[in-house]
Structure 1
């Protein structure tokens, strides 16, 4: 779904080796907090045993050598429907009874209301470090708390986010003002069109998650917490005035040629080096003035400058387009792991030490310094910065309006892909001047209604 995934794989083996070596060194310099004479057994539920040890297990056991860890792997149940998958995950957890559960964002949503997880507020209140939570990104902890209906059932030490990156030199040459935090979609798209003037040679904007007018319109709508299916899941509502305005804006932006449209020439080819792949990127190569992209891009910019000392990109970031500095969470941030404790955990004390350590200052400091966050961002605010003063607050400095478009998850199986396919087809007709936007949205609404009734 997110385009950061394949780029992370380029460096994953190196990261694992670096993390293991680094934490082995640190283990010799740090005293353990528990008595080595008292052996403690922790049972951890994770998606991957190897991934757990390389990311969390090795550093934690180096810090707490008296703790023995058993890892059980949670099956994905990919062949099941969402409800069947949820039921089987719950059955597996109840059968294995792990002390600690490392859950994906969706898995956490599935089980947070099933009385399987321990509320962490009680443990936080009892802990001697009364400021532990204050050092974490509020947007992340607020989101986790919103999933738990106001209660905190987990913590996440790493998140992936988006920002509006911009090339300051391209803006300066064209005498165009820089983007600013809190701009809405209309303002960003209008700013991009200023680069489609005589004397400017760059595209205004690149969208990493919207390669067509339809995808852009849906992205804009979801960021505004809009929906195209009614609350009962019985009607399609995409032909309304607000959606029509968004689709008009998206189509006009693509027709103005201010948005960079990717081609096969942008794709990595066999035999290319990491440096070759980086130079394919339209933003890194100076073809586009702005790009809405993930937090991994900041690392890639630094990689380009390390590999090519003559290439200096003068850049910064602003918050992604939003309405009044609020945005639907799902279009802004997504979580890597949510670290939770079983409500029936026999070793609550050791489990809490694990949760604190992997979400704490020491782990954040080391993983950030060694760039071991896999393109993500630490949830500790002290380490969300670089030495050049770039606006890293852009990654989290928006308020959230909801816990994500859960209504999409409740749609019939196969609806989403079929609806998107129909939308692409209708908007292509608009883009090519065959039909009006009103007709396209009415066609899509009629076809979508038939999909709902199947």
Structure 2
């Protein structure tokens, strides 16, 4: 149903643009009578046209598009080498446009398998000044100094806050670029008495209500990692991680944090109407001072204001996600959507550039800004609302690649799942007071290193496989 709704919205918007004679982007090439083709990698054909391709195809009738997907259709196989399968897919299908993760972009850029896009972004009509801050620098970081891919949208989290609650209790409003310590201290200034479904809470961090999860969230913002994937060393037993988990434990034990119910409803409530459904979130019903959340909650707030006006929050705003005081201008809580790159072997490189130009254009951003699906366009012109909320909180911090999952693809296949279980168990013991935190971290490191060695041994026992990217590189002409 959601997909059908998106198709309807995009389709209607696209038709209105075409009928008005509006050009989709100023920097694009004019339609030609000469036919060109594009093979584009995406999740599936239906999703591609509803999210990206419908308006593009209407405005570019001279381009024939074929959508290819590498999505697994059978049951999940934990022993399957997903990256090797991905590489084989690219080698066999040779799509013009490749959809990549951040790690995959780096790997393929190193192999020389992608077309450089720096020249395109420097074109006057591309107007890179309206892109979100740090986007191009981030893409250069992934590409080893050059831009090899771009994304049309990004996902970001921020701190939503209830102005009326802060006024009621005489507490200073939150600010952009707070540290995690400052955020917890602010939350703890609200009262902690009363029944769970009646009282006021200082802060909600979603489902990050367990020590390992919350510590990982805080550590990610401080550019910490629990392991070195290259040297295969576990690195959780460090002073930095100990400090992170101490901060997380203090916050969790303070009584100021609201814990999300896994069933999506406040504890003790009985959902009897649509109004109850809308107000199940304590932030929307005015019982929560701050919430760490994505933009998706804004749609829920609007619905509640329309259908439960007297009970829904009215006076709210946003500040940035907490930051590392040592790097206050960056955030790992901001991530890009699909990254699109051009296959260096493509014989349709100009058409491929035109497609990427289109999906990162200002006019495309204008159309998709109406969708309100929890993501944002990478163009800042449409990052605002009628109430003038602080939308800069979503994009003023520059994106950085989280070190928590750095070089994740270099780890033995089953190690991360095993290590997560080990760390969760040890940190729960520390949280429950069964052992000191320092002892729990030391134990997690020893057990984690043992798991790393065991999984490494399994890798060495397997027959050596050729690299798909190496095969692509061998066939790719120098650029």
Q: Same fold (TM over 0.5)?
A: yes
- In structure 2, C-alpha distance between the alignment counterparts of 1:16 and 1:271, rounded to whole Å: 31
**Corresponding residue to 2:46 among 38, 45, 50:** 50
Q: Tell me, what secondary structure is at the counterpart of 1:326?
A: coil
Name the residue aligned to 1:166: 161
The correspondence of residues 55-94 of structure 1 with structure 2, limited to 5 A, is: 55-76=51-72, 79=77, 84-94=81-91
5+ unaligned residues in a row in structure 2: which ranges?
A: 24-28, 455-479
**Corresponding residue to 1:16 among 7, 19, 23:** 7
Deviation at 1:408, TM superposition (A): 4.3
Q: CA RMSD in A?
A: 3.0
Structure 2 vs 1, CA of residues 197 and 232 (structure 1 numbering), >3 Å: closer, same or farther? same
Structure 2 vs 1, CA of residues 407 and 277 (structure 1 numbering), >3 Å: closer, same or farther? farther
Structure 2 vs 1, CA of residues 184 and 149 (structure 1 numbering), >3 Å: closer, same or farther? same
- In structure 2, C-alpha distance between the alignment counterparts of 1:68 and 1:55, rounded to whole Å: 17
- In structure 2, C-alpha distance between the alignment counterparts of 1:72 and 1:327, rounded to whole Å: 41
- In structure 2, C-alpha distance between the alignment counterparts of 1:412 and 1:81, rounded to whole Å: 10
Q: Tell me, what secondary structure is at the counterpart of 2:208?
A: coil
- In structure 1, C-alpha distance between the alignment counterparts of 2:265 and 2:358, rounded to whole Å: 40
Deviation at 1:157, TM superposition (A): 1.0
Deviation larger for 254-263 or 104-113? 104-113
Name the residue aligned to 2:434: 434
Deviation larger for 354-363 or 271-280? 271-280
- In structure 1, C-alpha distance between the alignment counterparts of 2:78 and 2:434, rounded to whole Å: 41
**Corresponding residue to 2:250 among 230, 252, 265:** 252
**Is 1:378 the counterpart of 2:377 in the alignment?**
yes
1:252-288 per-residue CA deviation (whole Å, 9 max, x = no partner) reads 2111111112235634999988765432223222232
Aligned length: 440
Cα contact 1:143–1:403 (8 A) shared by 2 = no
Deviation at 1:35, TM superposition (A): 3.9
TM (norm. structure 1) is: 0.87
- In structure 1, C-alpha distance between the alignment counterparts of 2:276 and 2:364, rounded to whole Å: 33
Deviation at 1:403, TM superposition (A): 5.9
Q: Tell me, what secondary structure is at the counterpart of 2:234?
A: coil
Name the residue aligned to 1:189: 184
Q: Tell me, what secondary structure is at the counterpart of 2:283?
A: coil
Structure 2 vs 1, CA of residues 284 and 105 (structure 1 numbering), >3 Å: closer, same or farther? farther
- In structure 2, C-alpha distance between the alignment counterparts of 1:273 and 1:100, rounded to whole Å: 46
- In structure 2, C-alpha distance between the alignment counterparts of 1:407 and 1:92, rounded to whole Å: 21
Name the residue aligned to 1:111: 108
- In structure 1, C-alpha distance between the alignment counterparts of 2:390 and 2:326, rounded to whole Å: 16
Structure 2 vs 1, CA of residues 449 and 353 (structure 1 numbering), >3 Å: closer, same or farther? closer
1:282-312 per-residue CA deviation (whole Å, 9 max, x = no partner) reads 3222232111111222232223223334334
